[in-house]
């Protein structure tokens, strides 16, 4: 490995260490408490050194959001490509991958979905959300085709499916639904199956 390649690798390692430190602070103190200075202190860097990697706190948070959506989408795609033979199982696997990611990464999930720390209209946010939506859309379209359901608005059906997932996850993370993970998971499954049954009954999805 040449000097240039080694320096780039070291830069990437430091960049990732900064992002990890930011997430560690958020888990401990919450996103509003996060500052560039605190991130630097966490990894024994000065604030100016952190600014060499991220021009602002917003830029750092946007990168965390991008990485978060990339990790989420990878987990969902792996679930969608599972060895399950029927499309309904694969569709639910996608939903459970979403659920599992959110519960394992609550602070990051909060940042990805509506934290005041990150503007939702940023291009990186829009693109990241779109990729996740496409994964859900693909799994849902396969299920609809296997059940001879007309997709009048495939993206609308995707948004509805996603709204159910996100609603349950968010309310659960904020302790707005009584019961433990198992009970809320069962309620979520019931809600999804009820919506899918409605589509099967009408033979039309949205």
Number of structural domains in the chain? 2
Residues 83-97 pLDDT 10s: 888 999 999 999 999
DSSP H helical segments within 81-151, as ranges? 87-104, 106-112, 123-146
User: What was the pLDDT predicted at 163?
Assistant: 96
Rounded mean pLDDT, 26-50: 95
User: What was the pLDDT predicted at 72?
Assistant: 97
At 37, is the pLDDT very low, low, confident or very high (cuts 50, 70, 90)? Answer: very high
Tell me phi and psi for residue 121, to 5 degrees. -90, 5
- Domain check: are 162 and 183 in the same one? yes
At 31, is the pLDDT very low, low, confident or very high (cuts 50, 70, 90)? Answer: very high
What lies within 8 Å, CB to CB, of 187 at 6+ separation is: 168, 177, 179
CA distance 69 to 199: 28
At 131, is the pLDDT very low, low, confident or very high (cuts 50, 70, 90)? Answer: very high
CB 39 within 8 A of CB 50: yes
- Domain check: are 168 and 179 in the same one? yes
CATH of the domain at 198: 1.10.357.10
| Residue 8: half-sphere exposure toward Cβ, Cα within 13 Å | 5
User: For residue 131, what are the domain limits?
Assistant: 57-205
CA 14 to centroid of chain Cα atoms: 24
């Amino acid at each position: 490995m040449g000097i240039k390649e080694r320096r780039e690798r070291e830069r990437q390692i430091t960049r990732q260490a900064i992002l990890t430190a930011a997430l560690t602070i958020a888990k401990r103190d919450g996103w509003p408490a996060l500052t560039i200075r605190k991130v630097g202190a966490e990894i024994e860097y000065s604030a100016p050194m952190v600014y060499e990697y991220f021009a602002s706190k917003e830029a750092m948070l946007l990168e965390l959001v991008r990485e978060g959506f990339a990790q989420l989408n990878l987990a969902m795609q792996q679930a969608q490509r599972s060895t399950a033979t029927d499309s309904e199982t694969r569709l639910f696997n996608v939903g459970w991958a979403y659920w599992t990611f959110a519960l394992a990464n609550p602070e990051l999930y909060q940042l990805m979905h509506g934290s005041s720390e990150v503007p939702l209209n940023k291009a990186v946010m829009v693109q990241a959300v779109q990729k996740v939506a496409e994964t859900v859309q693909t799994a849902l379209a396969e299920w609809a085709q296997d059940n001879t359901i007309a997709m009048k608005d495939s993206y609308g059906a995707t948004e509805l499916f996603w709204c159910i997932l996100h609603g349950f996850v968010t309310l659960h993370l904020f302790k707005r639904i009584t019961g433990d993970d198992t009970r809320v998971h069962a309620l979520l499954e019931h809600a999804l199956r009820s919506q899918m049954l409605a589509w099967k009954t009408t033979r039309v999805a949205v």
